[in-house]
Amino acid sequence: FCSSQNCGHAYPTFLAVLWCAGLLCSQAPAAFAGLMYLFVRQKYFVGYLGERTQSTPGYLFGKRIILFLFLMSVAGILNYYLVFFFGSDFEIHIKTITSAISPLLLIP
């Protein structure tokens, strides 16, 4: 019951940062991180069936993915304001960096 409750509480946050990262920054790394998050939450849920220490890696891994999506969202918002106020666009650089960093999410 506790793992199901934790998954339910984290899901709205996940959806918000996933949509923001996909719309404002780059869709491919956001989709990759979203799929990774779903697999990690499954690992977290299954970890509760065994010892409680088995769920900790899934929990921490999920927090890292949420942080990555949040940073992508912040980068997209900052880029929007840079374009709006100063006329300089860093979208290509942000997409390159996020595409290069997203495979690093596979490292436990």
pLDDT of residue 15: 92
Closest CA relative to residue 31, chosen from 69, 60, 75, 70: 69
- Three-state SS at 107: coil
Instruction: Give pLDDT tens digits along the chain (108 positions).
Output: 565 666 667 788 899 999 999 999 889 999 999 999 988 888 877 777 777 677 777 788 888 999 999 999 999 999 899 888 888 888 888 889 988 888 888 887
- Per the CB < 8 A criterion, the answer to whether 95 and 43 are in contact is no
pLDDT of residue 29: 92
Q: What is the pTM of this model?
A: 0.83
> Which of 78-97 are b and which e, b meaning 16 or more Cβ less than 10 Å from the residue's Cβ?
ebeeeeeeeeeeebeebbeb
Cα dist from 26 to 41, 64, 81, whole Å: 23, 18, 16
pLDDT of residue 19: 95
Delineate the domains of the chain, giving CATH numbers in brackets: 1-75 (1.20.120.550)
Residue with tokens 């921490």: 60
